[in-house]
Structure 1
Amino acid sequence: MVRGGGCRPVRTVTALPPGQCEESLPLRLTRRGRRVVAALSVAIGLSVAAGTLAVVVDAEPALQLAGASTVVVQPGDTLWSIAGSVAPEEDRRAVVDAILDRNGLDDVVLQPGQVLELP
């Protein structure tokens, strides 16, 4: 005696061609999936644009030192040592460049008694 009408659907299995596996079949996205991919692409693009803009806006301003506006060169002083003493938290290379530009110097050789304007 057969219960439930006696007929059940039979599941068929088809073999893939040799060398082809299930992962190599093309991906099919639903409308919802395409919208999610598009939204993610827009979000990533906006994030990259915002990050680039933040880097450009936060670019290092011209070096401005607080305190003395001039320094008198002492024997043994170098631009490197002066830059370290007037702006210990700043990048010394930037401070040296700013001192060179401010004083119109072409050379880093200093003379004792020389007065340097600080940026």
Structure 2
Amino acid sequence: MGSLRTCSRSACERAAVATLTFVYSDSTAVLGPLATYAEPHCYDLCTSHAERLTVPRGWEVVRLALPTTPQEPHPDDLVALVNAVREAATDRNQDTGPGVRGSKGTLEPPAGAGAGGARRGHLRILREQ
């Protein structure tokens, strides 16, 4: 699975691999690995545009090591996300208690759900096997 973000350069649709930021007070441009989150004052660049980066005369470029291959999502990231969602749901249910308006109850599939699980909004609840 590749990057979901694309190069910030106009008309470039390649996957972003690097993030460019500026330190105006030091007249420095910093080019490093793709940032975890898209920031409003940073620019995501593809490999081609990152390699051909030029800055104004008098400016310095700090190039941090870029990964040689696109970073694949780690399974632990998904597990951590699932655990955080479960914890938030548990905390919400403990705060409101069962039967209180606004409580959604537990995250168990409804009775009669097929083997594939049941849809609940945009999420799918799967049975443990």
What is the TM-score normalised by the length of structure 2? Answer: 0.24
Q: Which of the pair is proportionally richer in strand?
A: 2
TM-score normalized by structure 1?
Answer: 0.26
Q: Which has the higher contact order (CA 8 A, sep 6+)?
A: 1
Tell me which structure has the larger Cα radius of gyration. 1
